[in-house]
Structure formats: structure tokens, C-alpha cells
Amino acid sequence: MHSFKLFPLSLVSVAISSSFFSQADPFEYPELQPSQMDFGGVGLMQMPTGRMAPEGEFNFGGSWNNEYHMYNVSLQLMPWFETTIRYTLIQDLFYSSDPSFSGDTPYTDKGIDFKARLLEESYYLPEIAVGIRDFGGTGLYDGEFLAGTKRFGPLDVTLGMGWGYMGQSGNATNPFCKASDKFCERSSDTKNNGGSVDYERWFKGPASIYGGLEYQTPYKPLSFKLEYDSNDYSQDFPVVRGGIDMTQHTPWNVGAVYRLDDWGVAKVSYERGDTLTLGFNLTSNFNELKASWRDEEAPILRPNQAEVLDDVDFAQLSKELDVIAGYQNNQILIDQDTIIIKGEQVKYRDRDEALERAGAVIANSVPSHIKTYKIVETTQSNEMVEQQINADKFRDISEENYLGAHVSDSATKQEPSSGKSTIYYDGKERFDYSVSPHLAQSFGSAEDFYLYNIGLNTGASLWVTEKVQISGSIYINLLDNYDKFNYIAPPDGTSVPRVRTMFRAYVHDNPVRMDHLQFTWFEDYGHGIYSQAYAGYLESMFAGVGGEVLYRPLNSNWAIGADLTAISQRDPNSWFGVYDQERQFSEEDGRYYNVMSQGTTGFVTGYYMPQWEMLDNTLFKVGFGKFLAGDIGTRIDFSKQFKSGVIAGAFASLTDMSVEDYGEGSFTKGFYVSIPFDLITVKPSGNRAWFSWLPITRDGGQQLHKQHELFNHTDSRSPWFQRPSSVQ
């Protein structure tokens, strides 16, 4: 049996104390805010509503009762589109009947839900939404719904129709059955590997009407819910497989929601007439996160102190350009009446802020005969974009000689231009080193719900020429539980190489190892064409030689690139060795398995940032090519950037590998969130923290983890990762 802790009921009792009634104004009600249901996503308790949360709202939550422990993440990706990822741990049922494989891990179901708004609420019409629950899941909770919600003062009224899990009671006739007989029956067959989309079942079979109310009390933190539940629970998994009694004594569920300021919500409900369910949500909004840091003071424009170039302290100028304006590893060049600064912008996402600071630093340091400041932004020694600043206009702006003065009035963004210039100071560091934390994680595995690996990457790099870099890193594993990972070798007869399922051998079994060691040659051909060629130990599992080329026009919302790499899989028991035989033998379970001793991988990839209002601030990446295991197909990556700069994305690899060969999960997919460092640190920074979610690790649809991605390196040409915050 599993136990859980009850949240303090004082959170509810305080809301109904006598002081509440004595202080509340009965004629004024706080605005009702949409709340999350047990499954995750905006709704009542079991049933979804037509409501949407504010754009960017992020909820991490859980709900607990005797039968189900549910954990979910819900994100309002667009004003009209809601996404939810959910894990359900079914109590008193084990993941498998083999204790040596999964132990006492509860049966775990993964689910993904979507909801799309069809109609916004108006004076007469409700807000209407349609949704899919357990999209691409195992079928335990799959269902569809259409719901409308209307606001009447402090009261939200919902009426909806559900199919599948939400239509199990069958209290209404399926309207689609009137149009076609194929909608009258819902097949009980599902694609049991999970991850496959059973669209053939959508809106078929029994249908049910459901509804409910959510009431905002005069006391702002507290609201109440009443729900008519359209699922009779007769076909729930614990009932069918475990013989658990989930008899629905009444279809009416009641609940209360208590908001803990803006960061959390506590919930309690009484469902089915005999089940107490407790819940909790941590909330934030990616559209409202603000950066707050301590920064160096912006320089104040002073009269020129240098009369000739010999009076300029170029070492000090270089330091100030780095510390104050964020242009690291800079070089200072002079071409007659023009000063040229080449450097990497590592500090400010807002390039106007960087330009204004750099312009003031330069103006305070150089003689008055310098009429043009050229700031060339570089990445990995390649020139990306040039900002040309007119010195006289810049002084007018800095002195606010006219209304609405802005640094962009004095600057022109253009392709980097070549010319005859003399290097007066070279502040570029040839050697660099770093130490960074690393987290790898997987959810919902048979051996344990959460598998993790925490370690440190200690890296270093050296520029041996202006264009050639040698870099390497050693990975130190600090803590992990991958000793529980029992996937040793696939069943006899499979030909799929083990390109990622050998993760345990590389990390847990070898806690200190060389992560990568490679030579990289970067080249800039001008007019938006960039390339890299690389050779060596490219990542923790693969060595090889290859290259990438990218075309990215300046200020364009698209780019296209291609890469090709000859690969050999590294031997986990050796720092420098690679497998020389494709067929390997596992001494742990006495079976043979394949590895990728020699092969190729490569993709042609297109990048597109739509300019449509419906998909504002989004990026599509679509690549077609050959994956590590030899399977051929496409990888689709879609991401959304919120006003704060937080990016949320999802990806999927669809290949010619069969579902049977791939195994559980059916195809590779995952989600990620990228958070700018300047939102979580006290200093401005152009770096990002990445958090990813992978439902399960298998060998199909896997890509090489290259050290350098040209699309990322060329971001300043048409910013995506470095877009400034627009939070007011």
C-alpha cells in the first residue's frame, strides 16, 4: 500500500471562518481566475471547461487519492492553445508482474492533452473549446470533449459533451452517430506500445453530457466547485485489471480551491460520493517574469579626453567594452576616421542596451576625428553582423537634443564589411575553461518513476589558429540511480543498434570519462554562409568526422542548413576506443546485441519563424535525414518564446523504424524549457539554462549531440535566443 500526506485543512477552514463573513463586502467579488483540474489543464475536478488560462501560465501540480497519484505540467502555450503532460501512478498495481524487472514500481501511465479554443466569450456567447485527452497514450484515459463556459458575475457555468473516458456513462446519444454509423462504436483496441495516436477512436462510441459551476467567493483566495461527472468509472484501469471497487455512488463532485498568493494553489474535493482527493499546484507565468539584477553603471558621455590615437589607453578601452558593454574577447582596429570593435556579445539580450553602452565607452575614449564606430559581433571567430554608429548622431542622442531620441537612430545594422584596417589592440583570449553542472533525467520508466544522473562537465578550449579550435571535456558523475536501469539487450533477433539505450554503461558504470575531444574549423564565407568541419570524439557515445553548412540571410525569418558525419560508436570501457565489431555479447543476460561500429548520419534542416499573428514568436525546425541507428525520417521541432524570453518547445522524430523494432513509446519525442540566465541570476547574461523531458529512451530517431550548432551560433543575424525581454 502507498501512503500520502494530507495538506493542512486549515487552508480551507480559514476561508470559512467567521472573520471572513464579517469583513467581506457582499456587493463586490474578486475576478474569478481559471483553476486546474485533477488531470491538469483548466477545468473543474474531473471535467474540462471551455476556459483558457492567461497566455504563458505554467502549472506544475499533483492530485492524490486512493486509486490515483497524478503529476502534471500544464502550459498555456498560446492564448488559444493549452498543453498538458501527465503521469499517473496507479496505486496497488505494479508496472509488471516480474519483480526482478520493475520491483514495486507502481503501474505508470503517460499522457499528453491538448485543448484549443474555438470561440472567445462575448456578451451573449460562451467561450467554447475542443480537446483531446491522452493524445498518443496507452488508451487508459483517452477521450475527447467539447465544452462551453459562460461567466455570470462571480459564477462560471460549464456545459459540455465527452467521449471515451469522459463519456463512459453514456447518458446522451453521440450526435456523430446520426451522421455516420462508424461513430456509433468505439474500438477497444489500442496501439499498446504507447505514443501512437489512435485517431480512429476519436469522437466515437458512447457520449455523455457533463457540466458544473465554479463560484468565486467574496474572499479572493477561495472558490468552490460543483461538477456533474460523465464518467461512471466502471471501465477504469484499477477496476478492470485490479478488481478495485470504484463504484460511483453519485455523479456529483464538490471541491474547494484556495490560492496561496500568485505562486500556489491548494485544492480539496469529494468525488464519486466516497473519495477524498487532495491537490496542489505551483504556478508562474512565462509572459510576466521580470529580470532584476545588479549591473555596472551605464557610462555618462564626457568631452573627448584624447586628442590623438596615441593618447588612447586601448587596454582600458578593451576592458570597459567587455565589463560595461559585454563585448568579450574583443579586438580594436582603426581605419582612418573609423574605429572597429570585434567581439562576442555575452551580456545583453537587448542589443540596443549593449550598443548604447559601447558607444558611450568609445566616445569617452577616442579623439573627435573618429566619426564612425563599427561594432562587429562575432561568434566562434566568425563575423555575424555589423552595427555602424554615426558618432555625431550618437552624441545628439546621448545628450537628448531632440524628443524620442534612441540609439537605433544613429546605428545601421548591416553585413560585416571588410576593409583596410590596423589592429591596435587584441584582447581575444586563446585559451578558455569552464565547469558546468549537468542533469540527465527520464520519467516513467519501469524500473523507477524517475531516473536521473547529476554530474559536472569540466571543459577547456584552445584556438590554435584564428579559425581552428581544439576543445575537450571530462565528465564526472556525482550521483545517479541508473543502476536500476534493467534494459541490457533487446530481445533476440532485433537488428536495431543500441545507440542510446546503453546510456547506463557510459555514465553509471564509468563515472569519470572523457566526454568529448575534437578539432573544429569554423569558416565565414560572407553574405550569410557559414560552415564548420569537425573531427574527434564528438560526444559521450560517438566519435567521427563531419561538417555542417548554413545559409542564414541577415534579418531574415528563415535559414537552411545541412550536416553529414561519419560515425563510430565509442567503447564505454575505454576513453579512446571505439567498437570494431557490430555484433556484441552481453555477459549480464547472455544475449547478443548490435552497435553502430561504423555508419553515417546527417540532415538537411529548414528553420522558419512565422510572421503570423496566430503563431507569433514561434520557431519551426524541420530536418530530414538519417538518424544514428540507420533509420531514415524527419525530425520536427516547434518552440514558442514568451515575452520574458523563456522558450518552451517540443520535438518528435518520425522514421521508417517499425513500432515493433522501436519498442515502448513508438517514436522518439520530448519537451524542453529554456530559461534566460538573466531571469534567475543577479547579473545580466546571454546564457540559458535548459531543462528537458523525455518520456523514455529508445534507439530510434536519435541524433548526434554536436558540440556546436551553426543556427545557435548565428543567432545575432536574426535573433531568436537573444531576443530582449518585452515584459513591461
How much is the average pLDDT of 130-135? 92
**Are 182 and 204 within 8 A, CB to CB?**
yes
Q: Which residues contact 176 (CB under 8 A, 6 or more apart)?
A: 183, 203, 204
**pLDDT computed for residue 137 by the predictor:** 65
Nearest Cα to Cα of residue 117 among 75, 78, 160, 165:
78
List, in sequence order, every residue forming a beta bridge with 210; answer none if it has no partner.
160
C-alpha cell belonging to residue 524: 565565414
Helices (H), 629-674: 659-662
Q: Which amino acid is at 460?
A: A
Nearest Cα to Cα of residue 269 among 261, 260, 259, 279:
279
Instruction: Say which residue, 492 or 570, is predicted with more confidence.
Output: 570
**Is residue 92 pLDDT above 80, yes or no?**
yes
**Is residue 469 pLDDT above 60, yes or no?**
yes
Residues 231-254 pLDDT 10s: 999 999 999 988 899 999 999 999
d(CA 149, CA 115) in angstroms, rounded, equals 14
pLDDT bracket for residue 489 (50, 70, 90): low
**Is residue 13 pLDDT above 50, yes or no?**
no
Instruction: Say which residue, 452 or 696, is predicted with more confidence.
Output: 452
Instruction: Say which residue, 22 or 476, is predicted with more confidence.
Output: 476
**CA dist 427 → 315, 321, 332, 424 (Å):** 8, 10, 8, 10
**Phi/psi class of residue 227: alpha, beta or left (left: φ > 0; alpha: ψ in -120 to 50)?**
beta
C-alpha cell belonging to residue 2: 502507498
pLDDT bracket for residue 194 (50, 70, 90): low
**Is residue 22 pLDDT above 50, yes or no?**
no
**Is residue 456 pLDDT above 90, yes or no?**
yes
d(CA 199, CA 174) in angstroms, rounded, equals 17
Q: Indicate if the alpha-carbon torsion angle 94, 97, 98, 101 is positive or negative.
A: negative
Query: Cβ of 718: how many Cβ atoms within 10 Å?
Result: 19
Q: Are strands 599-608 and 558-569 parallel, antiparallel or unpaired?
A: antiparallel
**Are 70 and 39 within 8 A, CB to CB?**
yes
**CA dist 197 → 23, 116, 135, 671 (Å):** 53, 18, 6, 17
**Is residue 23 pLDDT above 80, yes or no?**
no
pLDDT bracket for residue 100 (50, 70, 90): low
**Are 672 and 688 within 8 A, CB to CB?**
no
407 HSE (CA, 13 A, CB side): 16
How much is the average pLDDT of 351-375? 94
Using CA atoms in the order 162, 165, 171, 172, what is the torsion angle rounded to 10 degrees? 40
Could you please report the per-residue DSSP string of 114-177? EEEEEE---SSS-EEEEEEESTTS-SSS-EEEEEEEEEETTEEEEEEEEEEGGGTT--B--HHH
Q: What is the chain's length?
A: 728
Q: Indicate if the alpha-carbon torsion angle 657, 661, 664, 668 is positive or negative.
A: negative
Residues 369-416 pLDDT 10s: 999 999 999 999 999 999 999 999 998 888 877 777 788 889 999 999
Residues 600-653 pLDDT 10s: 999 999 999 998 888 999 999 999 999 999 999 999 999 999 999 999 999 999
**Are 544 and 568 within 8 A, CB to CB?**
yes
Average pLDDT over the chain reads: 89
**Is residue 199 pLDDT above 70, yes or no?**
yes
**pLDDT computed for residue 273 by the predictor:** 95
**Locate cell 584596417: which residue?**
421
d(CA 617, CA 648) in angstroms, rounded, equals 11
How much is the average pLDDT of 566-577? 94
Strand (E) or helix (H) holding 225? strand 222-228
Strands (E), 580-697: 583-586, 591-594, 599-608, 618-626, 632-641, 647-655, 668-676, 688-693
504 HSE (CA, 13 A, CB side): 15
**pLDDT computed for residue 360 by the predictor:** 94
**Is residue 192 pLDDT above 70, yes or no?**
no
CB burial class (10 A; 0-12, 13-18, 19+) of residue 504? buried
d(CA 162, CA 203) in angstroms, rounded, equals 8
With a pLDDT cut of 70, the percent of the chain lying above it is: 93
**pLDDT computed for residue 7 by the predictor:** 35
**Is residue 526 pLDDT above 80, yes or no?**
yes
**pLDDT computed for residue 109 by the predictor:** 87
* Coil/strand/helix, residue 254: strand
The CA-based angle 531-532-535, given to 5 degrees, is 155
How much is the average pLDDT of 556-581? 96
Nearest Cα to Cα of residue 165 among 243, 225, 229, 211:
229
**Is residue 17 pLDDT above 90, yes or no?**
no
**Are 503 and 484 within 8 A, CB to CB?**
no
Residues 145-176 pLDDT 10s: 999 999 999 999 999 999 999 999 999 999 99
